[in-house]
Amino acid sequence: MYARVIKALSLLPAELASALKPIIEDSNFDSTISPEQFECLLSTTHMTDTELRLALLPLAASYAVVPISNFYVGAIVRGTSGRLYFGANMEFENASMACTIHAEQSAISHAWIKGEVGIKDVTINYSPCGHCRQFMNELTSANDMMIQLPQREPMTLQQYLPDSFGPLDLGVKDGLLSDLNNGICIEEGSELAISACNAANRSHAPYSKNFSGVALKAQDGRIFEGMYAENAAFNPSLPPLQVALINMNMSNYSLSEIAEAALVESAESKISQLARTQALLEALNPDIQLTYVAY
């Protein structure tokens, strides 16, 4: 467990910190709160649902990787299963600002990685920027999703993004977090390449058809997958490497622990993830070996 997460826990109200401690310190804690755990916390603290989600934000923000801004943003999303997923912003030294991951993207990707097919609500400590509003508009649940900020009444995403442009405007019915299998198969490859292929099979790329995935292997051998999350507005698309980095960070691994990487993508698409993946990996550590498979 990150020391900064434990520190954030110690700064919470005493009753909440005491109730959370066994959850956070459990060896199986995966930066999520189950519906049953959330109900128990509500009962113990006598907080409302909204109050508790807002009170948990400092824990989510403690996962932030912000060497440039030192500006910690936390987000918590509730999936259709009722489970809460933490997320936080991530920045990368010696890389383009365009590589930055926003807290909402982190929490939503975290939920996607773990199998959620829809988001009920997003709780965040700062108003979502336009980039994130557009990113969230790609979701399967974009029309019904609620956004909660401190000291504000909950509002729908569509209130934050009126007259929005989204997947349906381009004839796409399956939004981000749809349960997909893109049917990709690579004939041979390493365990890491096969994991990247598995991620590509879950990727959301209805506009470019560049179904792509990344897998990262940590020094201890654990593998983290990341899927490409394409967006109707193109620019807010989240590359597969960033989703894999979210996966690693929210699993309490430092990015300095990356030993190897693999990227699997379409050879026939008009776009490619290769150059951007190479550039960010180079910024993280020039010694990271990248396996590239174009199917």
Q: Is 39 annotated for ligand binding?
A: no
At 46, give phi and psi (nearest 5°). Answer: 60, 25
Q: Are strands 258-265 and 223-227 parallel, antiparallel or unpaired?
A: unpaired
102 marked as binding residue: yes
Q: Judge whether 104 counts as a catalytic residue.
A: yes
Compute the distance between CA of residue 249 and CA of residue 255 in angstroms, rounded to an integer: 7
Give all strands of the β-sheet with 84-88 in edge-to-edge order. 32-33, 84-88, 74-79, 119-124, 146-148, 155-156
Task: Decide if 36 contacts 102 (C-beta within 8 A).
Answer: no
Cβ contact 247:226 at 8 Å = yes
* Residue 199 in tokens: 């991620």
Buried b (16+ CB within 10 A) or exposed e, 35-68: eebbeebeeebebeeeebbbbbbbbbbbbbbeee
Whether residue 90 is annotated as binding a ligand: the answer is yes
Q: Which amino acid is at 161?
A: L
Active-site choice (25, 36, 104, 260): 104
Q: Is 204 within any annotated ligand binding site? A: no
Q: Which residues are annotated as a binding site for Zn(2+)?
A: 102, 129, 132
Q: Which residues are annotated as a binding site?
A: 89-91, 102, 129, 132
Q: Which residues are annotated as a binding site for substrate?
A: 89-91
Active-site residues, by number, are 104
